[in-house]
Structure 1
Protein backbone atom coordinates (compact mmCIF):
# COMPACT_ATOMS: atom_id res chain seq x y z
CA UNK A 1 0.00 0.00 0.00
CA UNK A 2 2.91 2.38 0.69
CA UNK A 3 4.03 2.08 -2.94
CA UNK A 4 0.51 2.77 -4.19
CA UNK A 5 0.38 6.11 -2.36
CA UNK A 6 4.01 7.04 -2.99
CA UNK A 7 4.98 6.73 0.68
CA UNK A 8 8.56 5.90 1.56
CA UNK A 9 8.95 3.88 4.74
CA UNK A 10 11.84 4.73 7.01
CA UNK A 11 13.33 1.89 9.01
CA UNK A 12 16.95 2.25 9.95
CA UNK A 13 18.43 0.45 12.91
CA UNK A 14 16.95 -0.48 16.26
CA UNK A 15 16.93 2.47 18.69
CA UNK A 16 17.59 5.08 16.00
CA UNK A 17 16.06 8.31 17.27
CA UNK A 18 15.69 9.75 13.77
CA UNK A 19 13.15 7.08 12.77
CA UNK A 20 11.05 8.05 15.76
CA UNK A 21 11.50 11.83 15.85
CA UNK A 22 8.02 12.80 14.62
CA UNK A 23 6.28 10.35 16.96
CA UNK A 24 8.42 11.43 19.91
CA UNK A 25 7.64 15.07 19.17
CA UNK A 26 3.90 14.32 19.01
CA UNK A 27 3.86 12.50 22.36
CA UNK A 28 5.92 15.27 23.98
CA UNK A 29 3.41 17.86 22.74
CA UNK A 30 0.44 15.75 23.83
CA UNK A 31 1.82 15.38 27.34
CA UNK A 32 3.17 18.89 27.92
CA UNK A 33 0.30 20.81 26.28
CA UNK A 34 -2.61 18.65 27.40
CA UNK A 35 -2.30 15.52 29.55
CA UNK A 36 -0.25 17.10 32.36
CA UNK A 37 -3.01 19.72 32.82
CA UNK A 38 -5.86 17.21 33.11
CA UNK A 39 -7.11 15.03 35.92
CA UNK A 40 -8.90 11.87 34.82
CA UNK A 41 -11.40 9.93 36.91
CA UNK A 42 -10.87 6.70 34.99
CA UNK A 43 -9.31 5.20 31.87
CA UNK A 44 -12.40 5.76 29.71
CA UNK A 45 -12.45 9.45 30.55
CA UNK A 46 -8.74 9.71 29.72
CA UNK A 47 -9.23 7.92 26.38
CA UNK A 48 -12.14 10.17 25.36
CA UNK A 49 -10.42 13.36 26.46
CA UNK A 50 -7.19 12.53 24.65
CA UNK A 51 -9.09 11.42 21.53
CA UNK A 52 -10.97 14.74 21.47
CA UNK A 53 -7.74 16.69 21.89
CA UNK A 54 -5.99 14.81 19.09
CA UNK A 55 -8.93 14.70 16.68
CA UNK A 56 -10.57 18.08 17.30
CA UNK A 57 -7.59 20.25 18.12
CA UNK A 58 -4.23 18.73 17.23
CA UNK A 59 -5.09 17.27 13.82
CA UNK A 60 -7.21 20.24 12.78
CA UNK A 61 -5.14 23.22 13.91
CA UNK A 62 -1.57 22.35 14.95
CA UNK A 63 0.84 23.21 12.16
CA UNK A 64 4.03 21.15 11.73
CA UNK A 65 7.33 21.97 10.12
CA UNK A 66 7.61 18.38 8.85
CA UNK A 67 4.32 18.88 6.97
CA UNK A 68 5.28 22.20 5.39
CA UNK A 69 3.63 24.12 8.24
CA UNK A 70 0.21 22.59 7.56
CA UNK A 71 -2.04 20.87 10.06
CA UNK A 72 -2.24 17.08 9.72
CA UNK A 73 -5.83 17.41 8.44
CA UNK A 74 -4.87 19.98 5.79
CA UNK A 75 -1.83 17.95 4.75
CA UNK A 76 -4.00 14.84 4.32
CA UNK A 77 -6.62 16.82 2.38
CA UNK A 78 -3.97 18.25 0.05
CA UNK A 79 -2.34 14.84 -0.39
CA UNK A 80 -5.62 13.14 -1.26
CA UNK A 81 -6.56 15.93 -3.68
CA UNK A 82 -3.18 15.58 -5.35
CA UNK A 83 -3.66 11.81 -5.62
CA UNK A 84 -7.33 12.28 -6.62
CA UNK A 85 -8.42 9.98 -3.79
CA UNK A 86 -11.41 10.38 -1.52
CA UNK A 87 -10.57 10.67 2.17
CA UNK A 88 -13.23 8.01 2.76
CA UNK A 89 -11.54 5.52 0.41
CA UNK A 90 -8.13 5.65 2.16
CA UNK A 91 -7.83 2.64 4.47
Structure 2
Protein backbone atom coordinates (compact mmCIF):
# COMPACT_ATOMS: atom_id res chain seq x y z
CA UNK A 1 0.00 0.00 0.00
CA UNK A 2 1.83 3.14 -1.19
CA UNK A 3 0.35 5.51 1.41
CA UNK A 4 1.36 3.18 4.23
CA UNK A 5 4.87 2.81 2.77
CA UNK A 6 5.32 6.59 2.59
CA UNK A 7 4.11 6.97 6.17
CA UNK A 8 6.66 4.42 7.35
CA UNK A 9 9.45 6.25 5.51
CA UNK A 10 8.39 9.55 7.08
CA UNK A 11 8.69 7.94 10.51
CA UNK A 12 12.03 6.35 9.54
CA UNK A 13 10.61 2.86 9.97
CA UNK A 14 11.90 0.12 7.70
CA UNK A 15 9.14 -2.14 6.47
CA UNK A 16 9.78 -5.86 6.94
CA UNK A 17 8.83 -7.87 3.89
CA UNK A 18 9.80 -11.04 2.13
CA UNK A 19 9.04 -12.00 -1.42
CA UNK A 20 5.98 -10.31 -2.86
CA UNK A 21 2.83 -12.26 -2.13
CA UNK A 22 4.32 -14.58 0.51
CA UNK A 23 1.83 -14.45 3.38
CA UNK A 24 3.22 -17.46 5.27
CA UNK A 25 6.03 -15.45 6.87
CA UNK A 26 3.59 -13.64 9.12
CA UNK A 27 1.22 -16.53 9.95
CA UNK A 28 2.46 -16.97 13.51
CA UNK A 29 2.17 -13.28 14.37
CA UNK A 30 -1.17 -12.94 12.58
CA UNK A 31 -2.45 -15.82 14.71
CA UNK A 32 -1.15 -14.20 17.89
CA UNK A 33 -2.67 -10.81 17.06
CA UNK A 34 -6.01 -12.47 16.29
CA UNK A 35 -5.92 -14.16 19.68
CA UNK A 36 -4.86 -10.93 21.40
CA UNK A 37 -7.78 -9.06 19.85
CA UNK A 38 -10.41 -11.70 20.59
CA UNK A 39 -9.26 -12.58 24.12
CA UNK A 40 -8.16 -9.15 25.30
CA UNK A 41 -8.82 -6.12 23.14
CA UNK A 42 -12.48 -6.68 22.21
CA UNK A 43 -13.32 -7.75 25.77
CA UNK A 44 -12.14 -4.50 27.41
CA UNK A 45 -12.51 -0.74 27.25
CA UNK A 46 -9.54 1.54 27.73
CA UNK A 47 -9.59 5.09 29.07
CA UNK A 48 -6.23 6.01 27.53
CA UNK A 49 -3.20 4.68 25.68
CA UNK A 50 -1.26 4.00 28.89
CA UNK A 51 -4.03 1.72 30.12
CA UNK A 52 -4.05 -0.10 26.77
CA UNK A 53 -0.25 -0.52 26.78
CA UNK A 54 -0.23 -1.85 30.34
CA UNK A 55 -3.02 -4.27 29.47
CA UNK A 56 -1.16 -5.53 26.39
CA UNK A 57 2.00 -6.12 28.43
CA UNK A 58 0.00 -8.01 31.05
CA UNK A 59 -1.75 -10.07 28.35
CA UNK A 60 1.55 -11.00 26.68
CA UNK A 61 2.90 -12.18 30.04
CA UNK A 62 -0.29 -14.21 30.60
CA UNK A 63 -0.11 -15.64 27.06
CA UNK A 64 3.48 -16.79 27.50
CA UNK A 65 3.46 -17.91 31.15
CA UNK A 66 -0.08 -18.91 32.15
CA UNK A 67 -2.27 -19.61 29.10
CA UNK A 68 -2.15 -23.32 28.38
CA UNK A 69 -2.30 -24.75 24.88
CA UNK A 70 -3.42 -28.26 24.04
CA UNK A 71 -0.90 -28.29 21.18
CA UNK A 72 1.84 -27.85 23.79
CA UNK A 73 0.68 -30.80 25.90
CA UNK A 74 -1.44 -28.58 28.15
CA UNK A 75 1.50 -26.33 29.06
CA UNK A 76 2.09 -22.63 28.56
CA UNK A 77 4.70 -21.71 25.92
CA UNK A 78 7.32 -20.95 28.61
CA UNK A 79 6.60 -24.17 30.51
CA UNK A 80 6.83 -26.16 27.28
CA UNK A 81 10.19 -24.63 26.34
CA UNK A 82 11.58 -25.14 29.83
CA UNK A 83 10.49 -28.79 29.85
CA UNK A 84 12.47 -29.52 26.70
CA UNK A 85 15.35 -27.21 27.49
CA UNK A 86 16.21 -29.32 30.54
CA UNK A 87 16.57 -32.54 28.51
Pair member with larger Rg: 2
- Helix, strand or coil for the counterpart of 1:34? helix
Unaligned runs of 5+ in 1: 1-10, 83-91
**What is the TM-score normalised by the length of structure 2?**
0.63
Q: CA deviation at 1:64?
A: 6.2
Mind listing any 5+ residue stretches in structure 2 that lack a counterpart? 1-16
Q: How many equivalent residue pairs?
A: 70
Q: Distance in 2 between matches of 1:15 and 1:78?
A: 37
Misfit runs of 4+, over 3 Å: 67-70
TM-score, length-scaled by structure 1: 0.61
Q: RMSD over aligned Cα, in angstroms?
A: 2.5
Higher helix share: 2
Paired with 1:21 and 1:68, the residues of 2 have a C-alpha distance of 21
Kindly tell me: are residues 79 and 13 of structure 1, through their superposed partners in 2, closer, same or farther at Cα, counting changes over 3 Å? farther
